[in-house]
Amino acid sequence: MRVNRSSFSSSSSRALGIVLTVLALSVPRVALSQSAGDYVIGPQDVLSITVFDQLDLGGKYAVELDGSFTFPLIGRVRAGGTTIRNFEVELKKRLAEGFFKNPQVTVAIEQYRSQRVFVTGEVRSPGAYSLTGDMTLIEALAKAGSTTPNASEDAVVVRGTKGLDGPAALDAPGDKEILRFNLKDLQSGSSTVRNIDLRDGDTIYVARAELVYVFGEVKNPAAYPIKSDTTVLQALSLAGGVTPNGAINRTKIIRIIEGDKKEISVKLTAIVQPGDTIMVPERYF
């Protein structure tokens, strides 16, 4: 018999995508989250600058590769490496030097281009995404189309790899920080759950779920991804349930223990383990 990889129900997959999108707006951030004014401007960012009562000076200005750009009246100004809040103060100071009395200046990011994060693994649209201000883990996953049906409950953020052209590998050498998060906990919406603000260069990795194999008298024998608390009965449900000829009360698990294959009689409420083979025998009559 050929074994086909299967997935959770399509309704469960859609529900997870909706949950991640909603949570992108609602899950609490870590207490140390940065405000928009704390964003560090970088090359290729596009700034929206407004000078009150001086409409001709306002507009959109692209930060060049050297971190500077030309602003009317004052010429070249350096914005790269400076927070939005500090750049506002500097620009106001420069305009007050012989041009205007107490100018009112506001600076915002029109387009984020200098900083990015990478989302890889079991997401629908893996790739690089612009880091927009205080983007969180859930928001990044939502931008990547949410997780796939084969995703595990765990997400890993690899930090400290700024400057790479692509995602950082978990086992790559160098000084880096690895942060682990449980997506099921994030879905709970609990106020105690950390939904961290991401940093430039962060790599988010969503692992593939572990598998169990369901054979015998079930409607759809195949390999199925499981969660950490999946029971025998839930695994049988993933396989479409037991056929009329199945003896569900004699269900067994074949498990590798210390290199040896063991056949174990189990209750339907037992938690399955990755790599288990669940067998439902045929009824005697």
What is the CATH topology of the domain spanning 10-31+115-208? Outer membrane lipoprotein wza fold like (3.10.560)
pLDDT digits (tens, 9 = 90+) for 204-223: 999 999 999 999 999 999 99
Instruction: State the Cα–Cα distance between residues 125 and 6, nearest whole angstrom.
Output: 20
149, 185 Cβ separation under 8 angstroms: no
Q: Which CATH superfamily is domain 41-111 in?
A: wza like domain (3.30.1950.10)
Separation in Å, CA 197 to CA 83, 121, 241:
16, 20, 42
Q: Which of 14-28, 71-85, 190-204 has the highest mean pLDDT?
A: 71-85
- Which carries the bigger pLDDT value, residue 97 or residue 160? 97
What letter does residue 234 receive in the DSSP assignment? H
To which H or E segment does residue 214 belong? strand 211-216
Task: Give me the pLDDT at residue 193, please.
Answer: 58
At residue 121 the predicted structure's pLDDT band, cuts being 50, 70 and 90, is very high
For the chain, which residues make up each domain, given as ranges? 10-31+115-208, 41-111, 211-280
Q: What is the pLDDT of residue 27?
A: 44
Task: Residue 186: count other Cβ atoms within 10 Å of its Cβ.
Answer: 22
pLDDT at 25 over 60: no
Give the CATH superfamily of 211-280: Outer membrane lipoprotein wza domain like (3.10.560.10)
Same fold, 10-31+115-208 and 41-111: no
User: Which has more pLDDT, 197 or 90?
Assistant: 90
The whole model's pTM is what? 0.67
CA 227 to chain centre: 18
DSSP sequence for 38-77? GPBP-TT-EEEEEETT-TTT-EEEE--TTSEEEETTTEEE
Report the mean per-residue pLDDT for the chain: 84
